[in-house]
Amino acid sequence: MGAMTSSLFYAELPGRAVLSVRGPDWRQFLQGLVTQDVEGLAQGQLRFAALLSPQGKVLFDLFLVGTEHGCLIECSADRGADLARKLMMYRLRAKVEIETADLAVAAIWGANTPTTAMIDPRLADLGCRAYGTPPPPGATLEGEDAFSEHCMRLGVPGAEDWGYDESYPIEANFDLLGGIDFKKGCFVGQETTSRMKRRGTIKSRMVPVVFDGPAPASGTELLAGELRAGFTRSAIAGRAMALLRLDRLEAGALTMPDGREWNVAWPPWLRSQIAD
């Protein structure tokens, strides 16, 4: 695959699915559930969000797309049915309709992205999201793995990194990637999320790390001297996303159990916000 910055790339994302939410109460309904402001979501606008557990951990990562009569919700395909059931559970008497939308999700990134596409709200360098639209002229067609690698090289974690009911959204950098609106009012899991924000110093974050050799298994321990500094999540040869204790990175030599050295590969957008 060529350099990401020299060409235009298009990848369908079969690992993602779309739900449609519409009806008179759709804004009020979602506003009380998700981490992102929905009241101001305009038609054609894209926002990043999450639906949390009452204890404040990520259940579903979401992209919200404003439509004429409601919104589309992009989520992990393997959890789409679970998300629909969860929304139905919360619906109660709200006048909303929740349906599966037959739309293919795609990512477009590289040079000369279409002006009509929706820029990824997490980070502009990620490119754009597209729903039910064909590849733009001249785009190189790629697989979903290519886009996952693109995200990893930019240091942006994904669903495989935060899992289901395992990670707090701030540890997964949702606050740094535009996924939490702390001014919007109540949402499920808000109490824990707001408390972590108020404390100011977040001890653990998802950060990209680099090393020599093959990808380690997910959950591989990362050591700083004799202390456990964290563990890997998704990985490719030479690079992984990891959940790290930032306060332990200076505790000693950074190694894996097999003796390999590792180092943090701070992306500029992340270093500017949390690194010394």
Residue-wise pLDDT for 20-61, tens only, equals 999 999 999 999 999 999 999 999 999 999 999 999 999 999
What domains can be seen in the chain, in order of their start residue?
7-199 (3.30.1360.120), 203-274 (2.40.30)
Are 121 and 50 spatial neighbours (Cβ–Cβ below 8 Å)? no
Residue 1 has pLDDT above 70, yes or no: no
Are 76 and 148 spatial neighbours (Cβ–Cβ below 8 Å)? no
Place of tokens 């959204």: 169
| Confidence class for position 199, pLDDT limits 50, 70, 90 | confident
What pLDDT score was predicted for residue 64? 98
Residue-wise pLDDT for 52-64, tens only, equals 999 999 999 999 9
What pLDDT score was predicted for residue 116? 76
Mean pLDDT across 69-78: 97
**Minimal CA–CA distance to 109: which of 179, 41, 218, 7?**
7
**Minimal CA–CA distance to 63: which of 35, 102, 88?**
35
Predicted TM-score (pTM) of this structure? 0.93
